[in-house]
């Protein structure tokens, strides 16, 4: 019988995490602020600029989900229909027009960027 499989190792070797490949490891507690994220997308073979409501860390620029206590109260509207309740979101254009002067705006590659460039705030 082979005892190589029965041996208990004295320690486990450290491995690189395959779950998180973040370039910037956080050595701080993230402090999120609300912002508008603008990005290019292709819709019906036409390039368009979309806008979404998100939050970002004011220290490192990490992009996060929407904030629960948002200043944007009309982002999601409850609509009651004959078939039940549905939620309708404000259009990208209305979101940008109403809030671009009240929130920081960042232009990112939404599919590849996990961080905003803090030096490029309000670049359209």
> At 110, phi and psi to the nearest 5?
-60, -25
- Token pair of 67, please? 């904030």
Give the residue numbers spanning the domain of 43: 32-120
Instruction: Tell me whether residue 8 is in a domain.
Output: no
Instruction: Tell me whether residue 23 is in a domain.
Output: no
Question: Please, which residues have CB within 8 angstroms of residue 79's CB and are 6 or more apart in sequence?
Answer: 85, 86, 87, 88
Instruction: Tell me whether residue 14 is in a domain.
Output: no
Instruction: Tell me whether residue 15 is in a domain.
Output: no
Instruction: Tell me whether residue 27 is in a domain.
Output: no
Instruction: Tell me whether residue 78 is in a domain.
Output: yes
CA 8/CA 89 separation, integer angstroms: 56
Instruction: Tell me whether residue 45 is in a domain.
Output: yes
Q: Nearest-5° angle of CA 74, CA 90, CA 42?
A: 155
How many structural domains comprise the chain? 1
Question: Please, which residues have CB within 8 angstroms of residue 6's CB and are 6 or more apart in sequence?
Answer: none
Instruction: Tell me whether residue 24 is in a domain.
Output: no
pTM of the model: 0.67
Q: What is the pLDDT along the chain (124 residues), one digit of tens a residue?
A: 555 566 666 665 555 544 444 555 557 888 999 999 999 887 777 788 899 999 999 989 999 988 888 888 888 888 898 999 998 888 999 999 999 999 999 999 888 888 898 887 654 4
CB atoms within 10 A of CB 103: 21
What pLDDT, on a 0 to 100 scale, did the predictor assign at position 19?
Answer: 45
């Amino acid at each position: 019988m082979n005892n190589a499989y029965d041996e208990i190792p004295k320690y486990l070797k450290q491995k690189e995490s395959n779950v998180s490949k973040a370039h910037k490891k956080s050595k701080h507690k993230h402090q999120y602020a609300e912002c508008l994220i603008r990005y290019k997308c292709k819709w019906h073979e036409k390039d368009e600029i979309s806008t979404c409501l998100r939050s970002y860390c004011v220290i490192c620029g990490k992009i996060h989900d929407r904030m629960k206590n948002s200043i944007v109260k009309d982002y999601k509207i409850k609509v009651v229909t004959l078939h039940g309740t549905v939620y309708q979101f404000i259009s990208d254009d209305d979101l940008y027009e109403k809030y671009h002067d009240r929130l920081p705006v960042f232009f990112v590659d939404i599919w590849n960027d996990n961080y905003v460039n803090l030096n490029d705030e309000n670049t359209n």
